[in-house]
Amino acid sequence: MSKIALTEMESRFAELIWDREPVPSGELVRLCETELSWKKSTTYTMLKRLESKGIFENRSGLVTAVLKKEDFYAEQSKQFVEETFEGSLPRFLAAFTRSRKLSDNEIDAFLKIIKEHKEE
């Protein structure tokens, strides 16, 4: 997957769609007018921008995700670890926990994830 970066407003717009998809484009225009104070043209311009990034599609007036929210954020997390910690999850976790202690529940959840994704 190629690197996809979103601006703050693109992220807010994407969240509106992900939280309600599939959403009719007319309803999306009304939602953006209410939530973001956007005009119809702004909504469609932003939608076209995110369609060109391969995140959403508008087919016959129905907007759906091409890239699901969970997949998008998984890729963003992977890119962050690659760019910031040279791809090292242990280095990331060490930095993350440097100023924050983990609860027993969080440790158990991490251990479960590790076991589920352990290479055989």
- 77: tokens are 């997390």
- The mean pLDDT of 2-16, rounded to a whole number, is 91
Which pLDDT does position 15 carry in this prediction? 97
Domain with CATH 1.10.10.10 in the chain: 8-69
Mean pLDDT score of the chain, rounded to an integer? Answer: 93
Which pLDDT does position 96 carry in this prediction? 87
Which pLDDT does position 26 carry in this prediction? 96
Which pLDDT does position 2 carry in this prediction? 65
Which pLDDT does position 1 carry in this prediction? 56
Sign of CA dihedral 41, 5, 34, 66: positive
Which pLDDT does position 31 carry in this prediction? 97
Distances (CA, A) of 36 to 13, 46, 85, 109: 8, 12, 35, 36
pLDDT digits (tens, 9 = 90+) for 64-117: 999 999 999 999 999 999 999 999 988 998 998 898 888 999 999 989 998 998
- The mean pLDDT of 5-34, rounded to a whole number, is 96
| Contact between residue 50 and residue 13 where contact means Cβ atoms under 8 Å apart | yes
Please count the other Cβ atoms lying within 10 Å of the Cβ belonging to residue 79.
14
CATH class in words for 8-69: mainly alpha
Which pLDDT does position 40 carry in this prediction? 97
Q: Is 45 exposed, middle or buried (0-12, 13-18, 19+ CB in 10 A)?
A: exposed
- The mean pLDDT of 31-38, rounded to a whole number, is 96
What are phi and psi for residue 101, nearest 5 degrees? -80, 150
